[in-house]
Chain A
Amino acid sequence: MSRLGTITRRAFLVGSAAVAGGVAFGVYTVRKPHANPLAEGLGEGQAALTPYVRIDGDGVTLITPRADLGQGAYHVQAALLAEELDVELEAIRVDPGPPSGAYWNTAMAEEAAEFMVPAQGRMQAGAANVVGAAMKVMGLQITGGSTTVPDGFDKLRAAGASARETLKAAAAAKAGVPVGEVTTEAGQVVLPDGAKVAYSDLAADVAGMEVVQDVPLRDPSEWRYIGKPMRRIDIVAKSTGTQAYGIDAEIEGMVHAAIRLNPAQGGPVNRFDASEAEAMRGVKAVVPVTGGVAVVADNTWRAFRAAEAVKIEWGEAPFPGSMDEHWAALGAAFAEEAQDSRNRDDGDVEGALGGGDVIEAEYRAPYLAHAPLEPINAIVRVDDDGAEVWTGTQIPRFVQQNVARVAGLEPDRVVVHVLMMGGSFGHRLEDEVVKQATEIALTVKGTPVKLTYSREEDMMHDFPRQIAMGRLRGRVAEGRVETLDLSIAMPSVMGSQMGRQGQPVPGPDSQIVAGAWNAPFAIPNHRVTGYRAPELAPVSSWRSVGASTNGFFYNAALDELIHAAGADPMEERLRLCDDPLSRQVLEAVAEMSSWDGPLGDGRGRGVAFVQSFGVRCAEVVEVSRGERGLRIDKVWVAAEVGRVVDPVNFENHVQGAVIWGLGHAMNCETTYADGRAEQDNYHAFEGMRIWQAPEIMVRGLENGARVTGVGEPPVPPAAPALAGAIFAATGQRLREMPFSKFVEFV
């Protein structure tokens, strides 16, 4: 294991401190000033503590910096803690802790590091150090990149183990017995005479005690939770309407706000007339905000309705207005001066393409809204000396800083409460809503303002997935793929997204070639080049980011060459695969689907393999052609994840990611006319509905050493596996998403 392993282990050092009525493990390092990590170096680690556990008279609370967007992050983190702490999973409460630089996300650095130095060993560890240090400076407390499990797998178990041993030491000392003779179970320390002391009763004793460090973690054979089916801790609430989301939050004295933003995202307001809106029932004020107009009222619907009644003259979009211009900008980006990276360059591509039959193709992927079902919302109250925020967000630190900046406060005067989210898919990596809510709240100081976007405002200002274009040049010889040269052009998602946070993104953007450059195929002449197109419409991370477009480009390109070679899509991938873990994934999905060449009879299968976020994932899609169109009958998925923490949540999450990948590849695009997003609600942006959902068989492989997350990796292979299946069933080669522009689905 690289130095990253060392860093992660050192990150376990926890301290304890007395808090109101109890003790908090880890609070020491959280409270410690966020020292200059570049001087300190990652190896020191003590500012790198992540989630921690609070024990007080009420029991055990997991303080977690990784937010729950619906992926079960609270549940899985609680399970990891419970594993070593010996408490019942159901007994753990979860509290999304305060924003803090100490909560920087270790695992987030790994993928970027691999790209910076695409080789194992010391060089890569060095790169991780640099990237990680940068994240630490930024205090990148972020939920994303499928990192909650890899980031927490060791840290949370270690936090649980340290807390358990400290509690044992406290109970033993109190009872005057050797610590070696006490045990723990179900939130209690068991003394030699069988007497039990609840953890909550020991809270006062352990406060201020030296925390027991370096506790060996349990052998997997002793695990009670990890790897076994569990009941998600939020499943009852989410099945009874009792789960509160951000949009359900109620703060005393709160008023409701609605917003109208320039439909050309980021464009200005030239002038507006609020006279009609101001006269409407329940309306308290009409307030100009950056790029739009807000209405404050006593009810969400009244605010929505009054916002619609404001007459607004909008300025121009700050980016090209038509899709033709966007595609032209991408086409023009395939030029040397725009080259961003070429991390894959095997053999002699130019020589191989110098003569003979060269196969060429162009692929396109559209902008796509995230469109989580809970519209964007936030509550902000600004007082003279501070502010308080309640919102569902993946970036609480940026929220804190941005509210402080808009309100003219120091960041430490801004309290952020992270609330449960009704989906995100990357949408809540943006925080425009809190800036706008703060602008409104400044006009009614002391009053909490709840800003809720209408669906239309949300979808038209989504910061969608990047638009992207891929170009293939390749050759085959003697029934084999010999040369694959894939060029990809897109705007930089990281540049657009982090630019809005005032954060520079130095160096190449790994997302421009993510999911393509690292394909584990030993094609003799093999090259992947990324080109950075200028920023067009503002874009943001959409579930699986660059790989969501590139996994399609790469696999579709490979399929064209395999077909030209007269080979079988599965067999040729297996023949070319030079990575043992990837091979096992492909073999698994071939076995699960009983892959045995063409199906015939109007049916077809396709296969795709993509490695993203450290996960090797392969999918086989099967379609059939009927009178009402193409139907996706079955999907098989195999993914190498190191360790499946909860098989139930794992399966659900993978199935959902496949449906996400398929639904958008089939049915969705966000397009612009006059700089305005043309899709403003679900009638025009459906995703997938139940009648299109196939049967999905899932297998998690545990052959690798690295424990990974799975929120994103099953998305990229879905579209190309579907395209391959459609080709097998119909002979029609699809090179552009959404596929519904070219074929009919049931």
Chain B
Amino acid sequence: MKLTVNGVEHEADVEPEMPLLWVLRDELQIRGPKYGCGIAQCGACTVQMDGIAVRSCQIAAGDAEGAEVVTIEGLGTPESLHAVQAAWIEHQVAQCGYCQSGQIMQAAYLLDMMPEPTDEDIDKVMGGNLCRCGTYPRIRAAIKAASAAMKGA
């Protein structure tokens, strides 16, 4: 099957029911999306599919065929940061960092939908992304900083 990830078309010989997460991680060696729970409870595997944040552990590979998949690696790079990543660095959000790829992908989606989210918007849209280290105060601050930066841009 054919998959477009971060603008690059890939060929993968997998069962159509294999979750997108494992196609990315084990078949395409794209390991920014993380495995945390496998049942859409933690958000560590969040990617964007056709512009919508999804849990890649719940997307069957067959359903991703033909879609535009963007992972954290495609959102921005250390040399060319997305505004959300820049805010994450500025606010030094990460501790262990394992959930942060998913948090950042979800936050980028939130700001696409709602450029100036309220605290309640943040709670609703980010509520599915678990952070065991408890970086939530910084996640909140970074989202607001990214919102301000994107508005000014």
Contacts and interface: CB of A to CB of B under 8 A. Distances in A.
Interface in B117-136: 122-124, 126-127, 129-136
B23 to A, nearest CB: 9
Interface string A237-250: 11111111101101
Interface string A619-659: 00000000000000000000000000000110011011111
- The 8 A-B residue pairs whose C-beta atoms are closest, nearest first, are A70-B96, A241-B32, A422-B98, A659-B134, A238-B97, A241-B72, A656-B134, A693-B136
B10 interface: no
B18 to A, nearest CB: 6
Interface in B54-90: 71-73, 75-78, 81, 85, 88-89
Given A234-B94, A683-B41, A240 B76 contact: yes
A372 B76 contact: no
Contact of A70 (B31, B44, B95): B95
B36 interface: yes
B11 to A, nearest CB: 16
Interface in A280-318: 281, 299-302, 304
A682 B95 contact: no
A656 B38 contact: no
B53 interface: no
B130 A682 contact: yes
A200 to B, nearest CB: 23
A371 B131 CA distance: 11
B94 A235 contact: yes
B34 A300 contact: no
Given A247-B34, A421-B96, A241 B73 contact: yes
A422 B36 CA distance: 10
Contacts of A300: 22, 25-26, 35
A245 B104 contact: no
Interface in A64-107: 69-72
- Say whether chain B's binding surface is mostly helix, strand, loop, or mixed: loop
Interface stretch (A142-150, A491-499, A508-516, A684-692): A684-692
Given A234-B97, A235-B89, A373 B39 contact: no
B37 A681 contact: yes
A553 B102 CA distance: 37
Contact of A422 (B34, B38, B39): B34
Contacts of A363: none
A648 B76 contact: no
A696 B18 contact: no
Give the residue among A231, A657, A689, A696 with the most B Cβ atoms within 10 A. Answer: A689
B139 interface: yes
Contact of B127 (A237, A240, A424, A691): A691
Give the residue among B32, B76, B129, B134 with the most A Cβ atoms within 10 A. Answer: B134
Contacts of B36: 373-375, 455, 682
Interface in A406-428: 421-425
Contacts, number: 183
20 contacts: A237-B97, A240-B76, A241-B32, A242-B32, A242-B78, A245-B98, A299-B18, A299-B27, A300-B25, A423-B98, A423-B133, A652-B93, A660-B133, A660-B134, A663-B134, A682-B36, A686-B130, A688-B134, A690-B129, A695-B137
Bin chain A's interface residue count: 35 or more
Give the residue among B38, B42, B77, B98 with the most A Cβ atoms within 10 A. Answer: B98
Given A239-B85, A301-B22, A373-B36, A693 B96 contact: no
Interface string A364-408: 000000011111000000000000000000000000000000000
A256 interface: yes
B100 interface: yes
A454 interface: yes
Contacts of B124: 691
Given A682-B37, A690-B140, A240 B44 contact: no
A396 B89 CA distance: 31
A652 B95 contact: yes
Nearest to B125: A690
A237 B78 contact: yes
A236 B34 CA distance: 17
A696 to B, nearest CB: 6
Give the residue among B21, B27, B31 with the most A Cβ atoms within 10 A. Answer: B31
A54 interface: no
B41 A423 contact: no
Nearest to B138: A652
Contact of A240 (B39, B72, B93): B72
Contacts of A660: 132-134
A72 B95 contact: yes
